[in-house]
Chain A
Amino acid sequence: MVAVLQVLVVVAASPLVIGLMRTVRARLEGRVGAGVLQPWRDLRKLWGKEPLRAEGTTWVSVAGPITLLASSLVVAALTPLLGTAGLAGLPGDLFVVVSVLLLGTVALALVGLDAGTAFGGMGSSRHMTIAALVEPTVLLSVYALSIPAGTSVLSGIVRARLDDPVSVLSPVSLLALLALTIAVVAETGRLPVDNPATHLELTMVHEAMVLETSGRDLAWLELGSWMRLSVLLGLLSTLVVPWGIATEVSVTTLALAVVALLAKLTVIAGLLATIEVTLAKLRLFRIPELLAGSFALAFLAVTASYLVVQA
């Protein structure tokens, strides 16, 4: 019930989050921007268009976008965004969530390879390199968060944070959250790792992979990627500011949780967009340094969490 609501809210809100980020960016750059609703209009347009299928492509080009969107839907259902009551028999186990996310990552990388163009391969290669370096950080940092909570179930971690909100200021959680933020930025292809607005051949990562997709295939890919961003930003903000999340299921608490989630998403998306305006994209071969840095932070967080348990 909570899970279904979460999926609905994320599906509805994630294009708006993207629209908001684009609008903030446009205003800060002195442009008017297309408006917050533009991503939804784009989706409607893509939905009605016929997809093209180049000769030599396999069923991967058809199934890949569907898999990516499906993985995003499942992740949206499993992550505690509105309530801490998980699905029966399917606890929002961190490792399950991460691996379902990776399933989407792999689907996208295969779509990039399928048409056999130079750009698709390039994007896919870069995407997987970044993913390979991000995954350790994600696992390590949430691992660090899970040691004080004693569980790898995300809702358990969030509940522990609710009971003791000051713990966000502990070194473990600060380090881990910082590392996680960098990982989220890299995983969702935002600046300074990837520029979502570019189509400059030599710098694109995400855009290079989706070059050959069109129509509803592209719609699935875009919506899936946007949902990932929203879910991960929502999770991040919930870990920092756990208030508002529903610990029991009732209409009022859930309504409150939806409002709280939207508020958190607005703030964090606006913040991210503002920071992005001030950043230039990193050279591709400087990205590993950034990711190695975040890996080191996550590793420190794990080590610190052991020291905390010891104390």
Chain B
Amino acid sequence: MTAVEWGLAGQLALAGLGVLAALAAPARARVGLTGVLSALVGVAGAVTGIVVLSGGQGRLSLSTSLPLDPMTLEPTALGGFFMLVAGAVGVVAAVYSIGYVHGAAAARPVLAAFPAFLAAMQLVPAAGDLLSFLAAWELMAVASTVLVLAEHASRAEVRRAGLWYAGMTHLSFVLILLGLALLAAHQGGTSWAELATADPDSATAAAAYLLLVVGFATKAGLVPFHVWLPRAHPAAPSHVSAAMSSAMVTMGVYGLLLVVVRLLPGGPTWFGVVLVALGAVSAVYGILQASAASDLKVLLGYSTTENTGLMVLAAGIGLLLREHGAPGAGDAALLACLLLVASHAAFKTALFLGAGAVLSASGQRDLDRMGGLGMRMPVTAVTFGVGALGAAALPVTVGFVAEWTLLQSLIHGARPGDRLIAVVMPVAVAVVALTAGLALLTFVKAAGITFLARPRSEGAATAREAPRPMQVALVLAAAVVVGLGLLPGQLATWAHAAVEAPSAVSDTTAIRLARIDAVLVPLAVATALGLAVALVAALASTAARQAPRRAVDLAWGCGGVRSSARMQYTATSYAEPLVRVFDQALRPQRDVEISHRDESRYLVEQVHFRQSLHDLVEARVYDPLLGFVMRVGAVGRRIQNGSIHRYLGYSFAALVLVLVVVSW
């Protein structure tokens, strides 16, 4: 057996042990043991991914009792990259779960679903044929549904979210099944290699492509299939939201890359255009909703839509450029896509885990009721801050490296005489630039309102720092965000290998896009910033000797000193100017009630202000659709009224009908 085969078998065995531990271990050791075994599943996945990316090969066949070919696990470099990402996220989330899991999330079935979920996420990219892919995909969907439903007994919104999630995730499964079945029926084989012989210009390929794109886009949370994301994330326990958002959602991106790079390579131009359009709409819509959101986890959920949107946009641009005479820039765009996947995994893990720590410490998810947590939860504050820097793509985080690569590929993708590129590229740049700007506001809001200023509620005022295992996981995630931001070379080398881009010359410290002559050395940027900070800090400490800092008990605030903490800006008011600018796109519903004093209508007694934001896509697309289905159901119910006479009548009518048909 090769190292890869050992790794694959190890993941399966460890996941089995994890499930067993969750079900059978004594109550005291259950959470810890399952957490440790889940972390080991993640380690096995990440190590296997690295081995595959460094050229390792292996093939694990699992025979089934079905009259089909055996299921094979045979990861390629692309799969290896996603295994690495999923494994790394799994490790951090599992360590976090040791300190975090309690109450309903510690029930046996929920606990058992976690290692199964992690293993399934690592098997999806390892799958070498249709059957194992679908099996792993379904296991991933079912296990995550169980995890989302962890707190179903105590919270009604969890049950609703579970329904949405189960519905959407199975819609995704059915579409993928149909798409792959279409290809398999046409080609007469089930392994990826056999499917890949299909002619990408044929009508079958086009139909399969559309089915697969919608199926994978649903999993990736792209607009208009994103509706489950902002519901499922707040409902799920935080280590699950982190794993779902950082790793599971990007499996949708893996699926799309699998289709366009491996199954149907060299497809017609509209393949790429579809991806660019989906990605662009998702990125802008996602970040707009995120910037207006005032629930921390909903905000992060929408920001996931933005990030997957950017990944898919990059993939689409990569396809277009590769086929339109700019292979260097195209490779850079695909590289950017994978870097975005890795960076999103890193910072979103830090953010969701941080959100979980805030949630369990303050009992609040509503940003409008937080504040001042930076003093009480310093570790969480700093790690969440690092994650927010990554999400805002600022130096020196891995988010910045990814966005830089994407922008470079766009700059160098200018093609003379190609009308399509001339239209697509400026739009893509505008989209990336707009999302970058809005992401900045969103994450300043998320971090600033949560951790700075004065507490806006009792829960926030009495919050305590998270337990040790959670802190370890948070620091780990933040260290990856900064570490990869400083030394992105190895990651870039792996990503190069995954997209099979030639001329990958990267050392550990730099990203070199050799074919388009662009180089980024984040360490140099960090050194320059560090020098400047050291210089100013040295000056400050010189000055501090003559004029030391003096503590005063109240901020000045233009004299409004003794105002209550509720007079501060909240998340809602922070985003208000922006919501006003994008009023037409967001359509917030506002209720303002002013009650006057009895003496005079010029004297205001109270003002009530209520603002709610509804997802426009949901209101305009899903509500009518669901309404229609419900109406059909209501009509269907009319023929089922429970009366035994009526059912006997139905049977009789059916018998007569059969006899008539037979005697025809």
Which residues of A line the B interface, CB within 8 A?
Answer: 47-58, 60, 62, 66-67, 69-71, 73-74, 77-78, 87, 89-91, 93, 95-96, 99-100, 102-103, 105-106, 109-110, 113-122, 124-126, 128-129, 131-137, 139-140, 143, 146-147, 150-152, 201, 211-212, 215-216, 220, 284-285, 288, 295, 299, 302-303, 305-307, 309-310
Contacts and interface: CB of A to CB of B under 8 A. Distances in A.
Contacts of B567: 118
Nearest to A139: B433
B521 A89 contact: yes
A215 B566 CA distance: 28
Contacts of B578: 129, 132
A130 to B, nearest CB: 9
A135 B394 CA distance: 13
Contacts of A116: 371-372, 452-454, 555, 565, 568
Interface string B422-456: 10011001101110111011001101110111100
22 contacts: A52-B551, A53-B549, A54-B552, A54-B553, A55-B554, A66-B537, A70-B529, A89-B521, A89-B524, A91-B519, A99-B394, A114-B452, A121-B568, A124-B574, A125-B575, A125-B577, A132-B440, A133-B581, A211-B556, A285-B580, A306-B425, A309-B415
A118 B557 contact: yes
Contact of B393 (A99, A299, A310): A99
Contacts of A57: 555
B440 A129 contact: no
Contacts of B521: 89-90
B452 A69 contact: no
Contacts of B532: 69-71, 73-74
Given A53-B550, A67-B533, A109 B429 contact: no
Contact of A215 (B403, B410, B452, B547): B547
Interface string B555-597: 1111010010101110001111110110000000000000000
Given A89-B521, A117-B556, A147-B414, 18 more contacts: A53-B551, A58-B381, A58-B452, A60-B374, A66-B537, A66-B540, A71-B532, A74-B532, A95-B407, A96-B520, A100-B529, A103-B394, A114-B452, A117-B557, A119-B558, A124-B444, A125-B569, A139-B407
Interface size class of B (residues with CB under 8 A): 35 or more
B434 A51 contact: no
Contacts of B560: 117-119
A135 to B, nearest CB: 4
Contacts of A305: 414
A284 B291 CA distance: 19
B437 A310 contact: no
B60 to A, nearest CB: 43
Nearest to A56: B454
B573 A121 contact: yes
B164 interface: no
- Among B440, B567, B580, max chain A CB count under 10 A is at B440
Contacts of A117: 555-558, 560, 563, 568
The 4 A-B pairs at the shortest CB distance, nearest first, are namely A121-B569, A116-B453, A117-B557, A70-B532
A125 B574 contact: yes
A63 to B, nearest CB: 9
Contacts of A122: 569
A96 B569 CA distance: 31
- Among A124, A132, A201, A299, max chain B CB count under 10 A is at A132
B343 to A, nearest CB: 14
B437 A54 contact: no
Nearest to A201: B558
B555 A54 contact: yes
B218 to A, nearest CB: 29
B113 to A, nearest CB: 39
B433 A110 contact: no
A147 B537 CA distance: 39
B377 to A, nearest CB: 11
Given A100-B395, A152-B518, A299 B568 contact: no
B395 A132 contact: no
B569 A113 contact: yes
B452 A70 contact: no
Interface string B389-411: 10011110000100110011011
B444 A128 contact: yes
Contacts of A78: 528
B448 A109 contact: yes
A220 B539 CA distance: 10
A129 B560 CA distance: 25
A120 B556 CA distance: 10
B535 interface: yes
A28 B381 CA distance: 49
Contacts of A56: 372, 375, 453-454, 555
Contacts of A50: 547-550
